[in-house]
Amino acid sequence: MSRPRIGITTSYEHDYQMLHGAYVRAIEQAGGLPLIVPLLDTPEAAADFAALLDGLVITGGPGIVRGLIGSLPEDLPPVDPARDTTDTLIYTAMEGKPMLGICYGMQFINAQAGGTLYGDLTQQHNGSFEHSASRGGQDHPVRLIPDSRLARIFQQPELVVNTYHRQAVVDIGVGLRVAATSPDGIVEAVESVDGRRIGVQWHPERMGDSSAALFEAFIAQCRAD
């Protein structure tokens, strides 16, 4: 059986596209064939590239400005317009196919659906603990919402996850629902009602076997669709 072809978006800084190898390894180990999404400028190019893919992973990244409430903090630069353009084009071209958003990727999916985001959750969400590892944030539990697709994937009510984000989802976008929350009330995962889009605020590609089920379920969905 051939491997589903999975597009993986990249970071973009100073004319360089960059990608942490953990994303590629996670997709390959789960049974997918990783394909790096190049920088794209036109809907036509995005449509042609999307035709090669069975699914899409939108990776972590810098600050999202679409749907932003407040301002980005000094330690979180805004996304480069070239990456934002590429991510938007490939997201649009992949409509109807399975997508997995990770950290920035989850926030991106929510913003594309008309949702909103805090610029800096520790400043804007009363009672929140620190969610950025670079600011001293620690691994923490998240509660999976019963009957969510995410809960069915992991078959348990709670996970302990890593944490690397400064922004956080406020209002949920159209067609999405909350799939997990942290003890301080921060949205930690969203999913589409039809189950084709899942976004998680943590970085499962850096968690080894404890998050392997997420990638395995994603690849299985890409193969089935």
Q: Does residue 20 carry a catalytic annotation?
A: no
Q: Does residue 222 carry a catalytic annotation?
A: no
Strand-strand pairing, 99-102 and 55-58: parallel
- Considering the candidates 130, 205, 216, 222, report the single residue annotated as catalytic: 205
User: HSE of 34 in the Cβ direction (CA atoms, 13 Å)?
Assistant: 20
Longest dimension (CA), the chain: 50
d(CA 88, CA 61): 14
Of the candidates 200, 211, 215, the one whose C-alpha atom is nearest the C-alpha of residue 168 is 200
Task: Decide: 57 and 9 in contact? Cβ < 8 Å.
Answer: yes
- In this structure, the number of other CB atoms found within 10 A of the CB of residue 28 comes to 15
- Considering the candidates 103, 140, 188, 191, report the single residue annotated as catalytic: 103
- In this structure, the number of other CB atoms found within 10 A of the CB of residue 161 comes to 23
| 146-to-107, 149, 155, 208 alpha-carbon distances in Å | 22, 9, 10, 24
203's tokens: 């970085």
d(CA 90, CA 204): 22
Eight-class DSSP state of 41: -
- Considering the candidates 131, 140, 165, 203, report the single residue annotated as catalytic: 203
Q: Does residue 14 carry a catalytic annotation?
A: no
- Hey, which residues are catalytic here? 103, 203, 205
